[in-house]
Every structure is written in structure tokens, then in C-alpha cells.
Chain A
Amino acid sequence: QQKVQQSPESLIVPEGGMASLNCTSSDRNVDYFWWYRQHSGKSPKMLMSIFSNGEKEEGRFTVHLNKASLHTSLHIRDSQPSDSALYLCAATASGGNYKPTFGKGTSLVVHP
């Protein structure tokens, strides 16, 4: 059973719009969350990480974490066509041999 669920599977937003992506872990031992971005034909690159309850903002990207519900969300404002990519959520549990569990990803398309 997939322990990290991402939604939606795919998302289309207009250029300049807001994209909101969700991720929930079913593993109560999870402490750390990451968002990776993978452009087509490329390898994943870490976008943002969040380990504490609350919100973290970096430029156009904001990530939220609710540790009680093990839910994190990524919001991209003023979306650009270059943001079109697969967004992967990963979660790691303390003492888990450093092994993150990845979700299946959300495929984002930003159309001009």
C-alpha cells in the first residue's frame, strides 16, 4: 500500500495562476517532508523541505505542513510554463535508515 499519497495526479493551470498540490503520509512515524521537481527527461531536484508545523515560503513557492494530519501542500503562485514538471513528495521517518518514501507525483502543466 502506497504510504505517500499525492493529489491530484495531474493539474493544468494557466500561466500566472496558482497551482496547489497535496501530499499525505499514512505512516505515523514520518517526521520530514520534501518536495522534488522533475522536468521531463531529467532527474528530480529538491525544491523545498519542511520539517515543522506551519508554512515556509521561498519566492513563488509556499509549502505547508500539518504534522497532526501528516499532510503537506505545495503552492506555486504566478505559475510559469517552466514550472511544468512532475512534482514528487517524499517523506522520511526518524530512524528509517534515511530512506524516504516517494509518492507517485503530480504532473503539472502550465499553459501560456
Chain B
Amino acid sequence: NSKVIQTPRYLVKGQGQKAKMRCIPEKGHPVVFWYQQNKNNEFKFLINFQNQEVLQQIDMTEKRFSAECPSNSPCSLEIQSSEAGDSALYLCASSRGTNQDTQYFGPGTRLLVL
């Protein structure tokens, strides 16, 4: 069973507000991923880290989204100015850090932007 912890489980924000969610990866997993799963169940990769360093991120992430994985603190994903289209399930996953390693997902943060 996955030991990835995500908080909060639910988040409700108004348009233009900041939305911040956190993730504690499984112990011993240096690679952390953030995904957005929309109401059609489509996965969108946002960003991944190895330890504190960004490995890859998409353009969307660079504009309104910010993320970090500081040492000895939870990883976080923040949307600076929420839009209705950001309403989705945000999933954090961690892995040991090779291409053959399984990703273990947290329970997700469900964001609703009113």
C-alpha cells in the first residue's frame, strides 16, 4: 500500500485565490511527480523532482503553477491565481528513481475553484 501523504484532501477556492497543496513522498523515494486528473479522468503531467531539483515541467506549470520539494519539508504545489479550469484531482506520486520503478500515488487533493 502507498505511503504517500497528501494534504488537504479537499480544497475549495474562489477564482483568483491561491491554492496550495502538499505531499510527503514515501520514505526512500527521491523522485516526486505531480499530476492533474480532470473530470474526464485524463492525466496531465505537471512537474517532477529528484530530491530538490526539477527534472521536467510543462509550460502551464511555469506560468501560474509553482512547485518545490525542499529538503526535510513536504513537497508543495501552489496555484497562484486559481481559475475554474483548475478544478481537478491533483495527484502526487513518488518512486525510487529509475525508469523501471513503479509510481506510488497519494490519495490526491481535490480542488474546486468556484
The chain A residues found within 8 Å of chain B, CB to CB, are: 31-32, 34, 38, 42-46, 49, 51, 86, 88, 90, 92-102, 104-105, 107
Could you tell me if B103 and A46 are in contact, using CB atoms closer than 8 angstroms?
yes
A11 to chain B, nearest CB (A): 14
B93 to chain A, nearest CB (A): 8
Chain B residues in 8 Å Cβ range of A93? 99
B100 within 8 Å of A (CB atoms): yes
Count how many chain B residues have C-beta atoms less than 8 Å from C-beta atoms of the other chain. Answer: 27
Complex Cα gap A32–B40 (Å):
25
Given the contacts A44-B91, A44-B105, A98 and B31 also touching, CB distance less than 8 Å: yes
Q: Which among B35, B41, B43, B97 is the interface contact of A98 at CB below 8 angstroms? A: B97
Could you tell me if A98 and B48 are in contact, using CB atoms closer than 8 angstroms?
yes
Could you tell me if A88 and B91 are in contact, using CB atoms closer than 8 angstroms?
no
Could you tell me if B41 and A43 are in contact, using CB atoms closer than 8 angstroms?
no
Could you tell me if B99 and A96 are in contact, using CB atoms closer than 8 angstroms?
yes
Could you tell me if A97 and B56 are in contact, using CB atoms closer than 8 angstroms?
yes
A67 to chain B, nearest CB (A): 14
Could you tell me if A43 and B48 are in contact, using CB atoms closer than 8 angstroms?
no
Could you tell me if B103 and A100 are in contact, using CB atoms closer than 8 angstroms?
yes
Chain A residues in 8 Å Cβ range of B45? 99, 101-102
For B1-38 the 0/1 string (1 means CB < 8 A from A) is: 01000000000000000000000000000010101000
Given the contacts A99-B33, A99-B48, A46 and B99 also touching, CB distance less than 8 Å: no
